[in-house]
Structure 1
Amino acid sequence: MQEFIKRLSTKVRDSVLCTGGLLYLLHSPLSFTSNEQLSNIKNNISRQEQQLNTLQTHLKKQEQSISSFATKIHNTSATLKLLETDIVSLNRESQHLKQLRLGQIKLLKKLLNNQYRQGKHSQLNTFLSEENSSVIDRMTVYAKYLSKARTHAINTLSTTDTELELKYHMLAEQTRKQTVLLSVLTSVQTKLKKEQGTQQKTVNAIQYQIRSNKGYLSELRNNESRFKIELEEATKKTHISVGKAHIKMEGLGKYKGHLSSPVKGKVLHSFGSVQTGKLLWSGIVISAKKGAEVNAAHDGTVVLSNWLRGYGLMVVIDHGKGDMSSYGYNQALLKKVGDTVKAGDAIALVGNSGGQTNTGLYFEIRRKGNATNPSPWLVR
């Protein structure tokens, strides 16, 4: 009987996720082994687990929604930058055409004036004044030249006017698009801010649920187990990604110390440092500004692009030969499974998804399934 009580106590204590349940278990008298009390404890634990699971489900939906908004903002901002460049270029071209047009008008006026003056010395006047034939021929050639030059000048001016009108039309269209996109951007930013407020409330509720060390440790261990399962599933697909990749999938082996840093910032948590209790960090956490681009450390194929409990929105890149790099806590994902990337390509946006209180990037490297310190692999 004592052995049964001991095993049962251990099993229940390890599954408790919040301080309330833990205190109840530790301070209850020995008679808690009665069926009614055991049932109450199990119900309490089950209810707490269900509440935590429900909160995590809400968090997933909220952060996926945030990802959608953030991605749209990122893409819209990029389009606006291109439009701004086009508008500047069109304005410059329009100014050039206006200056060209002024020069063409000036030339045409000069040609018309010369033609008018030459008209006063027409062949008839020259004949009446008994000029010789050589002078008449020269004046005729000059008249033809003026007429041809005038026609060319008129045609050139007409072409310039058409080009200038087209530039004005394009400028007006690009400006209209810019106005529309700015309006869309403002609207999406408002929605994003609102969703982030809701997300923060959910994160606070989750933190409250797992505030006890036991609950926190249990949650982190479960998250790590889930992540390993996801990686194992992704690993099974690596032969497919290697076969379809349009880039070299030669692994990371010869690139130690030469990988691009995914973001620039201070390392908040180092590989192998204590996360909580006896649980250590399997990667590093780098502080970075929310919305900053996360770049691929090396060439590879995206084998995972999804929300994972505890890690938030995560991208995993297969580099071949059993080498993978993972990027978590993101605000938005810019790549999908099957996409090939080159070193330095933007793959995500920095965030604090997965219930994180601080903004940053979780970065991890695994070789044949085993986590390795990523710091020595990065360019110093």
Structure 2
Amino acid sequence: MARGVAALGAWLPGLVLLLGLGLASPLAAQPSEREAQARLDALGEELKAVSAQLSTTREARDEASEALREVETALAETHRRLDALQAERRTLGDEIASLEARRDQLAAERTEQLEALSAQLDALYRLGRTPQLKLLLNQDDPARLDRLQTYLNRLARARNARLDALARLDAELADTRRALSQRVERLEAVAEELAARSTTLAEQMSQRATLVARLDERFASEQARLATLAQDRAHAERTLREVQERLARLERPPPSTAIEQTRGELPWPVQGSIASTFHEGAGVHRNGLLIRAAAGTPVKAVHAGRVVFADWMRGFGNLLIVDHGDRVMTLHAHLQHFTAGVGAAVSRGDTLGAVGDSGGQPRPGLYFEVRRGGDPIDPRRWIARQP
């Protein structure tokens, strides 16, 4: 207990930064804040190293599981890239609309300046080709001479100002048109890559469907299927225990995020219908909740923490684990793809990935699990009731 309290005290500055609660004193010394951030960054690097070791030391898989891993990992990358391209296309569309509006505004201002300059030149023309000479010759009325000279001076200044404004408008209009052309060109490239990626996605999904059907053919009976599911769960338990042990041996253990104080109040990682509950599901689904939701639905972090694992695992498919400190972890399985990477700090509500059907699932959904001290506990004891 004393050791836990000491560790919590040592990590308190990092905890404030991690949770983003704005509790740090404005009088706090900048070096200590930098130190805390450096410790958190170092922790992120340690977590990446642990995850990399776990990925390279997996136990041998059968040929069918390895093939499924390869195709679903490729699918995840395609989905991730498609999401990034869609986001870039939306951003480019907004930028193009803004540049087009700016171009039209500049063109209208340029037209106004030209019309004003034309009026000034017309007024000057009406004075004759050599108004200054007329002024010199017309010396019988000094007052009129002063008024006319003042008018000519103002007219000259106004004309020069209009010419300067026109030059600035021409330069800005040229820059805007050039930027617009670049955005349009990039948008065309994004559209081409989107089309190519969509074709690749269709091919990969067809390949996966064939592979899953072949995997299902292995089960001559329901008993054989249940035996395979039990093997998957046993493999998952071994891997998850190893994750827990590696985290316990870290030089800089993840700091507390006070998750114990939020029991019964955590938000749902995704809204959907419950397909199986704690100790009701089969195989790897036995220790958590299986939530049905549409493919691609964002999966949210239920509490602040650090991503400690994001990889494909037999039975789970694409699995992402968040460590919340206090020996509490949340698992998110069957993801379509990952949005957060290993070592990343996440806050409540941050997107971790998207709902999918990885792991050979017949339908999309999110498997959600809560572990405390390495042991699975009913997630419904931690998350709020569904609205």
TM surpasses 0.5: yes
Number of residue pairs matched?
325
- Alignment counterpart, residue 324 of structure 1, candidates 311, 329, 340: 329
Deviation at 1:120, TM superposition (A): 6.5
User: For 1:195-233, what per-residue CA distance to the aligned partner results, in whole angstroms no more than 9, with x for missing partners?
Assistant: 111111111122221352322222222222222222222
- Alignment counterpart, residue 219 of structure 2, candidates 210, 213, 216: 210
Match runs of 1:163-312 below 5 Å: 163-238=172-247, 243=252, 249-275=256-282, 281-312=286-317
Tell me, in whole angstroms, the C-alpha distance in 2 between the residues paired with 1:206 and 1:252.
Answer: 40
1:213/1:251 CA distance change after superposition, 3 Å: farther
| Structure whose alpha-carbon radius of gyration is higher | 1
Match runs of 1:3-152 below 5 Å: 53-119=62-128, 122-152=131-161
Structure 1 unmatched runs, 5+: 1-51
Secondary structure of 2:311 counterpart: strand
Q: 1:336 maps to what in 2? A: 341
1:197/1:242 CA distance change after superposition, 3 Å: farther
CA contact (8 A) 2:229 2:282 kept: no
Q: 1:33 maps to what in 2? A: none
TM-score by structure 2 length?
0.78
Tell me, in whole angstroms, the C-alpha distance in 1 between the residues paired with 2:100 and 2:89.
Answer: 16
Secondary structure of 2:172 counterpart: helix
Tell me, in whole angstroms, the C-alpha distance in 2 between the residues paired with 1:71 and 1:97.
Answer: 39
TM-score by structure 1 length?
0.80
Tell me, in whole angstroms, the C-alpha distance in 1 between the residues paired with 2:137 and 2:96.
Answer: 61
Tell me, in whole angstroms, the C-alpha distance in 2 between the residues paired with 1:81 and 1:244.
Answer: 40
Tell me, in whole angstroms, the C-alpha distance in 2 between the residues paired with 1:191 and 1:336.
Answer: 24
User: For 1:330-378, what per-residue CA distance to the aligned partner results, in whole angstroms no more than 9, with x for missing partners?
Assistant: 1212222211112222221221111110111111111112222223433
Identity score, percent: 26
1:119/1:236 CA distance change after superposition, 3 Å: farther
1:257 partner letter: G
CA contact (8 A) 2:77 2:337 kept: yes
Is 1:363 matched up with 2:372?
A: no
- Alignment counterpart, residue 315 of structure 1, candidates 312, 320, 330: 320
Tell me, in whole angstroms, the C-alpha distance in 1 between the residues paired with 2:210 and 2:189.
Answer: 32
Deviation at 1:190, TM superposition (A): 0.9
1:105/1:231 CA distance change after superposition, 3 Å: same
RMSD: 2.2
Tell me, in whole angstroms, the C-alpha distance in 1 between the residues paired with 2:142 and 2:202.
Answer: 89
Deviation at 1:89, TM superposition (A): 0.8
Secondary structure of 2:217 counterpart: helix
Structure 2 unmatched runs, 5+: 1-60
* Structure possessing the higher relative contact order (Cα contacts under 8 Å, 6 or more residues apart): 2
CA contact (8 A) 2:247 2:253 kept: no
Deviation at 1:125, TM superposition (A): 2.7
Secondary structure of 1:205 counterpart: helix
Q: 1:374 maps to what in 2? A: 379
